[in-house]
Structure 1
Amino acid sequence: MAHSLSDLSQQLLKMAKSAGADAADVLAADGRSVSIDVLGGKLEHAERSEGLEVGLRVMVGQRQACVSSSLIDPDTLQNMAERAVFMASEAPEDPHIGLADAAQLSQITDAAALDLYDASAEPEAQALEEDAKRAEAAALAVNGVSQVQSASAGYGTRRIHLAASNGFAGGYQRSSRSTSCVAITGEGTAMERDYFGEARIYQADLPDAADIGRIAGERTVKRAGARKPKTGAYPVIFDERVASSLISHLLSAANGAMIARGSSWLMDAMGEMVLPKGLDLIEDPHRVRISGSKPFDAEALATAKRDIIKDGVLQSWTLDLANARKLGMQSTSSAARGTSSPPSPSISNISLTQGDMTLDEMLKDMGTGLLVTSMIGSTINPNTGDYSRGASGFWVENGERAYPVNECTLAGNLRDMLRSIRPANDGRAHLSRVVPSLAVEGLILAGE
């Protein structure tokens, strides 16, 4: 990663302007990553990757095009600029595209205040392998675990730099460190599995690998003997580790691109109750040492904390510049992009109001129903909010986990489901999405 991303970006901007672009922006990114997998106490797979990629977006009038390359020699860059301008000149007009005005640009051009990069030495591959082995061994030590499907450890770092012909130039670096484990109990068709994993920006913040393996093993043995639950209408609690999926469906429906296309079940819900009274859903891109944090968005607008839902009432769509212009609104500084695509709206860190009850207290309050700990597949009608997903977890009787369940389907409508949710108090503060366990009414279970 010896290249200056700033110099590279400015060089490509100049080439684009010389080739005939009226406006342009460049996203340059490089990084490296190491991942280690072990199996049976031995190294199973090791991978290291390093790469640099640069993306150019040009505008000719109200037409735009994007190109990208992992080669950065002068000839390649010149060809990129010329090709992008040619492509843009042939593209259909879009009256809503355009860079941010100078007055809109973020005055913050780095992420020093957000502490997104661990400057300590990159861990050796042997250290990652040792972590993976310790996680595997701890899982196997749990009585009832028959095998470990995978135990992994990884490290990564990534730099990005954004520059545009409107005068903005800025960038920052991220790092990540992770450990995970998937364990299995039982044999043959009676096998069940579960997992646990953690990721942090700082190595020092990552839980011990043995604890990660132990928790994966303990979760797994609780799945032994899983069977289908009863069919019928029952209350459901989404465990904290899957509860954010419900909120993700809400966030997708509030995405400005969906609204501008007219394909969202929240189309006419601005200013209406979409969650129970008393619940707030907040986006905060400025949380320190959190993976989703960012000082500016992909269009160089300053990010800021905002209410998506306040006291249960929908307050805001998630908007980039183009979709905001389509809707006659202002961007929420929510643009994200890759090197080969134009910006689109995306969410960073979110948090949902937490409740007063623990998960166990919520189970007792529920009495009989389903605790969901894992989900597969997804059938969501974006226009109506009709919801259907495969699930597994635990059947609850008299407020206690009675037996593990699998192979069931949950069905309902997101409008009704979300207006009935009750949060527990177990949201984990280190996650980018802090969503506690959620009790939900209005679901049909299809089991045996």
Structure 2
Amino acid sequence: MILTGLAVGAVLGIVMQRGRFCVTGMLRDIFLQKTWRTTVALFIVISVHALGIAALTSLGVITPSYGNFAPVAVIVGGFIFGLGIILAGGCASGTWFRSAEGLIGSWLALVFYALSAAAMNTGALTWLNGGLSSWETSLTTLPASFGVSAWFFAIPLAIGTALAARHYLATEKKAVRLDVPFWKRPLHLYTAGALVGLIGVIAWPLSAAAGRNSGLGITTPSANIATFITTGDVERLDWGVMLVLGLFIGAFAAARATGEFRLRVPDATTATRAVVGGCMMGVGAALAGGCTVGNGMVQTALFSYQGWIALLFIALGVGAGARIWLKPAATPTPVAEAAPSSAEDRVLPFQVATGAVALQTAPRVKKARPLGEGRYALDQMGAVCPFPLIETKDVLDTLESGEELVIDFDCTQGTETIPQWAANNGHEVTDFHATGDASWQLTVRKG
């Protein structure tokens, strides 16, 4: 039965990679884009999950257990985790599937995430985890506090989420998409959310049948991998470990099949951010009792105090991190570095990923290379998300209406975020095509 975790994880990895499904980006959009459009996808996951878990519990198929709410650990841990995922460039599951796309910076974040979570759970930092987690209350879930069935929360949440999704779908501007076969097209974020929620429902009884009374989870399985590698304790290789390994395999297969895999080596700044962010992710998730999956998708679907309070403080950490670190560069990249001589130069097997940012204290200067006749080129090859979009917005602000910006980038998430932002803000995408494996060129005419 343990191998069912591998199968479920593979399907989850495919869906997340094809849907560009990263909770970091969803929460980040609240602060950077001032919109809840993508965050609705997370609520779709929670709603589907909540309805499914309520049904399985009512039928006696599963018997979830509920831990007491430890407010200090959850609040501190959630906030640290939120800061960490901004630095690392992705949430726990997002780091796994981005690693499968070839982002070596995500590999660094993943390694230090697993090691720090293992240190918190069973290693040198158990004193910190145990100390903060010992301050707990008797609170478990909202249904238990009010003495009602989980259906009283699941149904209203699902209705509210459906109305929000309907609103955003009705007002969503149609964005230009890549002209590729249907099987290479990304999933709509809301479709991916519904599928992730359904996978979460299926995962719970399969996990329980293997002796693990829980559903989807990333932090403890990641920590268990690190513990197994360092100690050889085979008891750590449970259903959850198979899940995250399957997630990587599925995401890798999807990325390879659609031409979205390429090894990309980070520069020193990005690598440092990944290491620090990974450590903060592991410490924060261990304290909070879960990550954006364990807390943000599973515990919220159980309507536990832990899940919803953790999600709130993860979001606040993301907001603080976005304000501190996610700013456009203050100075332009030298032309010699920003403009390779040919398209072939941009599609090397190893691409250097950049994510360096600086406080915008100097007067704004043009960062784009003039092409003549009101056209400019912005090279974002190697820039990790969300920097291609941040720099696109920054440069477009300096252009006149009708002028065009040609953006070269290799951030997979940018294939969705940049054209959708352009459509929502009255700009026209006049050209959008792939230039090689995991590399694209998009031309935006300012509206």
Query: TM-score interval w.r.t. the shorter chain?
Result: under 0.3
TM-score relative to the length of structure 1: 0.23
* Structure with greater proportional helix content: 2
TM-score relative to the length of structure 2: 0.23
* Structure with greater proportional strand content: 1
Q: Which has the larger radius of gyration?
A: 1
